[in-house]
């Protein structure tokens, strides 16, 4: 199976950084440019929309551990397989650093090791890297880097 991991340091406390991800209003301010409905809570299914990818994407919230971890499952974008639509697992870890910053690490896994699976993973790796950059700009400076980026 194909997987990747990206990480970045956010110059805000872990509680503030975590809230910027689980809170749909905050998340819509820098990442889900078409909106997010529903708070990320264990067992919930929420929908994310992006200006650059038309449609609403269902996101299954597998686990939320306050200020520590979020685990999500969603469609892999590599198409259907013999066992139905393929899904990937996204794990976001939040680590409070000694200097007051937060280390956010995002790992996504579950694509097949095929050309189509690798291509889908590269796109998501790019997306999560951009999400971390946008999160940093938003919580540290109140700037939405995605505004006008795709439209």
Q: What is the pLDDT of residues 16-35, one digit of tens each?
A: 999 999 999 999 999 998 89
Does 91 map to a domain?
yes
Structure confidence at residue 85 (pLDDT): 77
Does 67 map to a domain?
yes
pTM recorded for the entire structure: 0.93
Structure confidence at residue 84 (pLDDT): 57
**Distance in angstroms (rounded) separating the CA atoms of residues 131 and 142:** 14
The residue segments making up the domain with residue 24 are 2-141
Q: Which two tokens stand for residue 109?
A: 């896994």
Domain of 60: which CATH number? Answer: 3.30.530.20
pLDDT < 50: residue spans in the chain = none
Residue 74: in which H helix or E strand, if any?
Answer: strand 69-81
Number of domains in the chain: 1
Structure confidence at residue 76 (pLDDT): 87
Structure confidence at residue 83 (pLDDT): 53
């Amino acid at each position: 199976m194909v997987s990747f991991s990206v990480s970045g340091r956010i110059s805000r406390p872990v509680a503030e950084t975590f809230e910027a991800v689980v809170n749909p209003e905050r998340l819509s301010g820098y990442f889900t440019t078409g909106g997010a409905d529903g708070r990320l809570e264990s067992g919930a299914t929420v929908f994310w929309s992006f200006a650059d990818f038309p449609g609403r994407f269902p996101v299954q919230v597998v686990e939320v551990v306050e200020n520590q971890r979020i685990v999500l499952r969603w469609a892999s974008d590599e198409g259907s397989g013999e066992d139905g639509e393929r899904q990937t697992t996204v794990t976001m870890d939040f680590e409070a650093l000694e200097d007051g910053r937060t280390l956010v690490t995002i790992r996504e896994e579950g694509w097949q090791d095929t050309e189509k699976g690798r291509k889908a993973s590269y796109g998501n790796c790019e997306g999560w890297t951009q999400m971390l950059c946008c999160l940093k700009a938003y919580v540290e400076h109140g700037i939405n880097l995605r505004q006008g980026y795709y439209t």
